[in-house]
Structure 1
Amino acid sequence: MTGLSEQDIDRLVAGTHDDPFSVLGLHEVGGKLAIRAYIPGAVSITARDAKTGRRIAELNPVRDGVFEAVTRRKNRFAYRLHVTNHDSSWETGDPYAFGPVMGDLDEHLIGEGSHRQLWRVLGAHVMTHEGVQGTHFAVWAPTAKRVSVVGDFNVWDGRRHVLRRRGATGVWEIFIPEIGDGERYKYELLGPDGHLLPQKADPFGFGAEHPPATASIVRSLDGFDWSDADWMGTRADRIAIDAPVSIYEVHLGSWKRVPEEGNRPLSYLELARDLTAYVKDMGFTHIELMPISEFPFDGSWGYQPIGLYAPTIRHGTLQEFRAFVEACHATGLGLILDWVPGHFPEDQHGLGWFDGSHLYEHADRREGFHPDWNTLVFNYGRREVSNYLTANALYWLDEHHVDGLRVDAVASMLYRDYSRKDGEWIPNKDGGRENLEAIAFLQSTNMTAYAEHPGCVTVAEESTAFPGVTGMVDGGGLGFGYKWNMGWMNDTLRYMAEDPINRKYHHGLMTFGLHYAFSENFILPISHDEVVHGKGSLLDKMPGDGDQKFANMRAYLGFMWAHPGKKLLFMGCEFAQGREWNHNASLDWHLLDHPLHKGMQDLVRDLNATYRAVPALHERDTKAEGFDWVEGGAVEESMFVWLRQGAEGTPPALVVCNMTPVHRPGRRIGVSEPGRWVLRMNTDAAAYGGTGTQTADAHMTEEVASAGRPHSIVMDVPPLSTLIFELER
């Protein structure tokens, strides 16, 4: 024996040794270097010089797969192991012959919770280390007794590749030679009590198996040649508060499927061709994807992610996802991802109870469990957890060139009593209901994202009146670029669901949004949430028979596009899909053979074109001076008339909405300036499936006061319609 104790051997064989680097690999013995290896099932092991292939030593079997030999060499050397067992032989590098990969600065930043490229240190990275190709694995598991990486390369045996513990940070690492891209792996951990935990997927895994399989996949982050520099340099202007921003929300699994091939969803490469071309043709400026971070359950639509760093394999590999992003940019489209830092599922292979402790989640279920979704809540007050999530936001912006993140369920993060009854939540340190740690996390992440990636955008799905969601952090705001206007959406859809004869009793639902429209930078969202869970489709929400439903929906979309706030429309709504959205099936594209559905699609395309072409509709979206009621109180007629004002020198726009099926001929409308007002949009046009009620293409003002204005025009207002005019300069 050469210093290898029976206790060390027992622990190696039992898989309980927490520091095999101290006994395996190269070690000095009596002024010479000994080689020790543990390969269960091996019959013989020969060490060979890594450069020349010459035999260095025959390792002697000690016990149960443990081998050792004392060489004649005094200086460290590179070697390989030639191994035979009863069935075969092979040659391999020895992972215990390599030094650490992580540096002191990385450890310091991890300990501080301030590593802005944390994914470049933790996770699985294909690299050359000490002149050898292989993969470096690193994971944070501070309370674990032992951490191993397991996979096909070691027959999923947790005794073979035990990681090296790195100081006080709680990080473990190992470099395994000769394995690379495409390898399946998981982490096997012994908890603080020494018990074996369920195998875990890599929290930083860049790839994953097809669900329901749960292993992580080694994916190289290198090797993609981006060619979107022009887009990246101009994207800030395309998402600015004075820009026309029109977002098409998409669930990749059900936008379009291939019935000839088992009804499979499209791949990233097919989407790069088909989805981008369609969205560009429809005139939208951005695509927003429902979550594509890897998730185990299709029915969660991605909102219960397990692999925050892995683009879902359902549509292809990481590199193919990048090709999709680049195709968006080449087509002139921005890409926004739904991002879910608010909660995560309790699946055994996920983050919950990761190292035998409440590592990522709160220990107290009153803080750490979401009753709405049966999920766990991140412990934002733990600096390593906050760093993990902030780094994830930066990862998508950095590695994949995405243009923005829409943060899901922000309200659930902001309030400790969200969906909880009295006694089921814990107040903050000041006795209040606000989640101060989550607020600090959101502020820090927003500031960091905008600082590190100019031109990006963050968007909050926030359903309460929490102040300053889009306010500057140094003024106490959360620092988001935009906020979804959930109140506007709920109010206006309630109004539209009313029979037109009753709408005069609910007039305020359409006007109330203007009381707060400029308190935040708003996006008007008609999202997936409005067309699921028995709510029916957008078309189905409209009253009346078939034709009336379409007329109501056309008028409503015109109202939305002319209203202050950026636009978001869920896929299928643009052609008035009749049935509720089903995540397991393709959209009903065959409906476009029907003139009314095709007319709705044409309307949305033209609304987007009008929105871009009429600057007053977007230039002062977030400023009160950009909006002026002409008639907000035409209750009996259920009409709404307003002016949109653009930047100085921009012609104003006039909007006239008639939310009844009553034709109003010769209606006098007050305007701010004299001149010729040109019709830019009529949602009731015959081309869209409307009545085609005659409305002049242009109107000259008369010096007749109306609605408090010195000038007016007289027009025929079609039934159930929105008209948009622009003053001709």
Structure 2
Amino acid sequence: MRCGTIANDTDGRGGWWVTRRQDESLYIVPEHARDLLAGRCPDPFSILGRHNAGKVDIIRAFYPDAAKVRLVVERPRSAPAERAMRQIDDTGLYIGTVPQGARYHFRVTWADAVEEAADPYSFGPVIDEHDLRLFAEGRSFHADAMLGAHPVTLHGVDGVLFAVWAPNALRVSVIGDFNIWDGRRHSMRLRHTAGIWEIFLPGISPGERYKFEIMAKNETLLPQKADPFARFSERPPATASIVTSGVRYAWDDDAWMDTRGARQAPGSSISIYEVHIASWRRPGGDPDRTATWGDLTRELIPYVTQAGFTHIELLPIMEHPFGGSWGYQSLGLFAPSARHGTPAEFAAFMNACHAAGLGVILDWVPAHFPNDVHGLACFDGTALFEHSDPREGIHRDWNTLIYNFGRHEVREFLISSALMWLQHYHVDGLRVDAVASMLYRDYSRQEGDWVPNIHGGRENLEAVSFIRELTDAISREVPDAVIIAEESTAWPGVTRATSEGGLGFSFKWNMGWMHDTLSFIQRDPLWRGHHLSEILFGMHYGFSERFVLSLSHDEVTHGKGSLIARMPGDHWQKHASLRSYLAFMWCHPGKKLLFMGCELAQAHEWNHDGEVDWAATGDPLKAGMQVLVRDLNRTMRLYPALHELDCDPAGFSWLIGDDVSNAVFAWIRFAVSGSPVVIVWNTTPVIRENYWTGLPSGGYWHEILNTDAGIYGGSNVGNGGGVNAQSRPAHGQDWSCELTLPPLAVIVLSSARTEV
């Protein structure tokens, strides 16, 4: 392909441009430029940009649909010089020359505008080779600092560096409003060391929308892809990624960050309020509106603080295309969802939580991802992030794809995401969703629909390796953060250190406790005495892991009904049973988690399109439940025996666990730094008079909490504020007391009263 006409060009303004015959050889176009014009060129930098030809540099540019393109040569001691570039056969390919090494840019005339543009193909490789090697070797746990879209300044020119991992692509381009979404305009450079494509686009600034256009090896053009490492995206259903500023938020939460390690230690008081942001409260009661981070700062933070919780746990806020997934089908693992505001507004929310003394835990989903075409599925024309074999790569339950944990780059992608939330946004912990589905190759699969591991077993060895790598990275880089496993099986050592053969989590949701105890409390009180084992069994393994007792969103959806709806009896008895059950939970070893709405005994099942039934608090029994939850949190925090040895068998002892006829339980909680606490639970609606229970010491025992108190909606049966211990052995103790047990109630006794 050759230039058709060679003509004289004159600047018209003097300077170094003179009327002269151009060397025809300078306008010979490389033969492989045909691939560029066809949109399938794997190496656009070999054609476009600056190419030396002795005393001059040949400049080639590709601007299809431009009216004309002129070279503007920047001269150090005089005004810029300008001359037209020659278009080759109406292809959109333009050629011009500049003195060797001269700085230049383009003036591009479009049908409706004139654009001044630096040449993206005049810049050399940007990403350091050492960083590329680390990524290729699986040692880059901050890959988001390299991949994605980053505003930078190169050689005094402001712009954005785009980089994406797509090792099997034939061609990758950045597309956006800045190039009319034309994939021919900004094809990227492949860095072969790591299969990463990069390009620096001058003049691009934060706020620009963009995607990647990828051509597979077979020259198939794939659906436009969002950036896997995007820090922000359009609000769904739109799917473009958005360039964000590299400016860091001005944090002022040093006081919190300096103390959060102690606040989140196994011996600390932790109670978590689990929230689905969209359905917690609809602004103005409008069902079509979704709360912003500013709304949540004004309303959620004071609500949770007043309720006495120590932490908020947010269902996944990472960008996700389908709201009905509640965030659990995330695609933007580095982007706070645009449904609630900008990344800076999320950072401000985090800062406000810390100022209020609240920690924030995010649900995070490395177990699977949705198959939306703009996402990670078949990203470069191959199964890149996922497995190619559906027996390994598809979750039948959710019709989602499973990450290939055996790939270095996939593990780096996920670990980089986890560390980004913890470090960039000061998030205090991650709750890792669906860990059981990661650990077992046959999880929810029929015989023949799964692939055994290399030893013929069902364990997913690659996933186990990934989890250990993840928890080790977090322990090393953010040691005061917590990482919590939703793991529903008896996999050993979930919270044991990886150096001891464990998975390295800080805590594990106690799913067995939840299932057994809910089964018990849903029974007619007449039959509860025959099922005491459902309460007792949890302590057979209660200290095998560091547990969080969870009554989560999963227990109030999918037809299960609300917690209060599952309680037996009339309206009053339902609320009394739930009050006693929550008190039992708060007085049982383990950290606590309660889903929104449960604190006010919401009658209906959770609906992600609705909101918490705030009007329900007009019912005194529901308002009383709110007050009880507040007082449970306060009591747990004030009395070390109710939290200090949550994860140590020395902190617990049964007193009564065999009273089949009365269906009464009693136990002791101990502390290193405080007095013991005795808890007695009457699970029937019958008042038990003159009921004796053992005590660990003499003196006066204060009734520090009674779920039958009138303030909670109870019948005000109790022990007048406390009882005197008597030197009468009972239940293995040298002391005991005679109690009146309220109906369907828990009473908590302490020999030392702690005031707020």
Q: Under a length normalisation based on structure 2, what TM-score does the superposition of the two structures give?
A: 0.95
What are the Cα deviations for residues 308-354 of structure 1, in whole angstroms up to 9, with x where unaligned? Answer: 11100000011111111111101000000000000001110111100
Question: How many correspondences in the alignment?
Answer: 726
Q: Does 1:100 align with 2:125?
A: yes
* Distance in 1, Cα, partners of 2:545 & 2:285: 47
**Residue 131 (structure 1) aligned to one of 149, 156, 170:** 156
1:5 alignment partner in structure 2: 29
Could you tell me which amino acid in structure 2 is paired with residue 463 of structure 1? S
- % same residue: 50
Given that 2:708 and 2:718 are in contact with CA atoms closer than 8 Å, whether structure 1 keeps it comes out as no
* Distance in 2, Cα, partners of 1:221 & 1:579: 44
What are the Cα deviations for residues 551-595 of structure 1, in whole angstroms up to 9, with x where unaligned? Answer: 000000000000000000000101111100011111111111221
User: By how many angstroms is 1:262 displaced?
Assistant: 5.8
1:579 alignment partner in structure 2: 604
Q: Does 1:265 align with 2:265?
A: no
* Distance in 1, Cα, partners of 2:102 & 2:168: 34
What are the Cα deviations for residues 481-503 of structure 1, in whole angstroms up to 9, with x where unaligned? Answer: 00000000000001111000011
* Distance in 2, Cα, partners of 1:261 & 1:19: 52
* Distance in 2, Cα, partners of 1:223 & 1:652: 47
When the two chains are superposed, the root-mean-square deviation of aligned CA atoms in Å is 1.3
1:45 alignment partner in structure 2: 69
**Residue 190 (structure 1) aligned to one of 215, 232, 251:** 215
Q: Does 1:374 align with 2:399?
A: yes
* Distance in 2, Cα, partners of 1:478 & 1:721: 39
Q: Does 1:523 align with 2:533?
A: no
2:427 alignment partner in structure 1: 402
Change (3 A) 1:134 1:261: farther
Could you tell me which amino acid in structure 2 is paired with residue 17 of structure 1? C
**Residue 413 (structure 1) aligned to one of 433, 438, 441:** 438
User: By how many angstroms is 1:2 displaced?
Assistant: 2.3
1:55 alignment partner in structure 2: 81
Given that 2:27 and 2:95 are in contact with CA atoms closer than 8 Å, whether structure 1 keeps it comes out as no
Given that 2:431 and 2:486 are in contact with CA atoms closer than 8 Å, whether structure 1 keeps it comes out as yes
Counterparts of residues 165-244 of structure 1 (less than 5 Å) = 165-244=190-269
2:366 alignment partner in structure 1: 341
2:167 alignment partner in structure 1: 142
1:68 alignment partner in structure 2: 95
1:562 alignment partner in structure 2: 587
User: By how many angstroms is 1:261 displaced?
Assistant: 5.3
* Distance in 2, Cα, partners of 1:537 & 1:182: 43
**Residue 745 (structure 2) aligned to one of 709, 714, 721:** 721
- Give the stretch that moved more between structures: 117-126 or 671-680: 671-680
Counterparts of residues 155-170 of structure 1 (less than 5 Å) = 155-170=180-195
Given that 1:46 and 1:58 are in contact with CA atoms closer than 8 Å, whether structure 2 keeps it comes out as yes
**SS of aligned partner of 1:582:** coil
Change (3 A) 1:4 1:240: farther
- Give the stretch that moved more between structures: 277-286 or 262-271: 262-271
Could you tell me which amino acid in structure 1 is paired with residue 148 of structure 2? G
1:629 alignment partner in structure 2: 654
**SS of aligned partner of 1:315:** coil
Q: Does 1:712 align with 2:747?
A: no
**SS of aligned partner of 1:564:** coil
* Distance in 2, Cα, partners of 1:100 & 1:275: 47
**SS of aligned partner of 1:231:** helix
2:518 alignment partner in structure 1: 493
Q: Does 1:84 align with 2:119?
A: no
Given that 1:241 and 1:622 are in contact with CA atoms closer than 8 Å, whether structure 2 keeps it comes out as yes
User: By how many angstroms is 1:673 displaced?
Assistant: 1.2
2:724 alignment partner in structure 1: 700
Given that 1:543 and 1:549 are in contact with CA atoms closer than 8 Å, whether structure 2 keeps it comes out as yes
**Residue 339 (structure 2) aligned to one of 308, 311, 314:** 314
**SS of aligned partner of 1:148:** strand
2:45 alignment partner in structure 1: 21
Could you tell me which amino acid in structure 1 is paired with residue 738 of structure 2? V
Counterparts of residues 412-561 of structure 1 (less than 5 Å) = 412-561=437-586
What are the Cα deviations for residues 671-695 of structure 1, in whole angstroms up to 9, with x where unaligned? Answer: 1111211111101101000011132
Larger radius of gyration: 2
Given that 1:273 and 1:327 are in contact with CA atoms closer than 8 Å, whether structure 2 keeps it comes out as no
* Distance in 2, Cα, partners of 1:305 & 1:399: 19
Given that 1:675 and 1:728 are in contact with CA atoms closer than 8 Å, whether structure 2 keeps it comes out as no
* Distance in 1, Cα, partners of 2:138 & 2:251: 30
Given that 1:670 and 1:707 are in contact with CA atoms closer than 8 Å, whether structure 2 keeps it comes out as yes
User: By how many angstroms is 1:168 displaced?
Assistant: 2.6
Given that 2:706 and 2:718 are in contact with CA atoms closer than 8 Å, whether structure 1 keeps it comes out as no
* Distance in 2, Cα, partners of 1:35 & 1:80: 10
Change (3 A) 1:703 1:494: same
Q: Which runs of 5+ in 1 are unaligned?
A: none
Counterparts of residues 680-691 of structure 1 (less than 5 Å) = 680-691=704-715
User: By how many angstroms is 1:263 displaced?
Assistant: 3.7
Given that 1:46 and 1:55 are in contact with CA atoms closer than 8 Å, whether structure 2 keeps it comes out as no
* Distance in 1, Cα, partners of 2:568 & 2:355: 41
2:19 alignment partner in structure 1: none
1:121 alignment partner in structure 2: 146
**SS of aligned partner of 1:91:** strand
User: By how many angstroms is 1:6 displaced?
Assistant: 5.8
Given that 1:29 and 1:70 are in contact with CA atoms closer than 8 Å, whether structure 2 keeps it comes out as no
**SS of aligned partner of 1:109:** helix
User: By how many angstroms is 1:53 displaced?
Assistant: 5.8
Given that 1:4 and 1:23 are in contact with CA atoms closer than 8 Å, whether structure 2 keeps it comes out as no
Q: Does 1:602 align with 2:627?
A: yes
- Give the stretch that moved more between structures: 319-328 or 221-230: 221-230
**SS of aligned partner of 1:314:** coil
Given that 2:71 and 2:106 are in contact with CA atoms closer than 8 Å, whether structure 1 keeps it comes out as yes
What are the Cα deviations for residues 631-679 of structure 1, in whole angstroms up to 9, with x where unaligned? Answer: 01112111110000101x5200000001000000111111111121111
Given that 1:228 and 1:330 are in contact with CA atoms closer than 8 Å, whether structure 2 keeps it comes out as yes
**SS of aligned partner of 1:249:** strand
Given that 1:148 and 1:161 are in contact with CA atoms closer than 8 Å, whether structure 2 keeps it comes out as yes
What are the Cα deviations for residues 445-481 of structure 1, in whole angstroms up to 9, with x where unaligned? Answer: 1011011012100000000000000001011000000
* Distance in 2, Cα, partners of 1:633 & 1:464: 28
Could you tell me which amino acid in structure 1 is paired with residue 92 of structure 2? G
**SS of aligned partner of 1:275:** helix
* Distance in 1, Cα, partners of 2:510 & 2:285: 40
User: By how many angstroms is 1:299 displaced?
Assistant: 0.6
* Distance in 1, Cα, partners of 2:125 & 2:104: 17
Could you tell me which amino acid in structure 1 is paired with residue 209 of structure 2? R
User: By how many angstroms is 1:101 displaced?
Assistant: 1.8
User: By how many angstroms is 1:224 displaced?
Assistant: 1.3
* Distance in 1, Cα, partners of 2:731 & 2:255: 48
What are the Cα deviations for residues 536-564 of structure 1, in whole angstroms up to 9, with x where unaligned? Answer: 01111111111111000000000000000
* Distance in 1, Cα, partners of 2:198 & 2:378: 20
* Distance in 2, Cα, partners of 1:705 & 1:9: 95
What are the Cα deviations for residues 12-45 of structure 1, in whole angstroms up to 9, with x where unaligned? Answer: 2211111111111111124311111110112221
User: By how many angstroms is 1:85 displaced?
Assistant: 3.2
* Distance in 2, Cα, partners of 1:185 & 1:28: 32
* Distance in 1, Cα, partners of 2:677 & 2:482: 28
Given that 1:484 and 1:525 are in contact with CA atoms closer than 8 Å, whether structure 2 keeps it comes out as yes
Could you tell me which amino acid in structure 1 is paired with residue 409 of structure 2? E
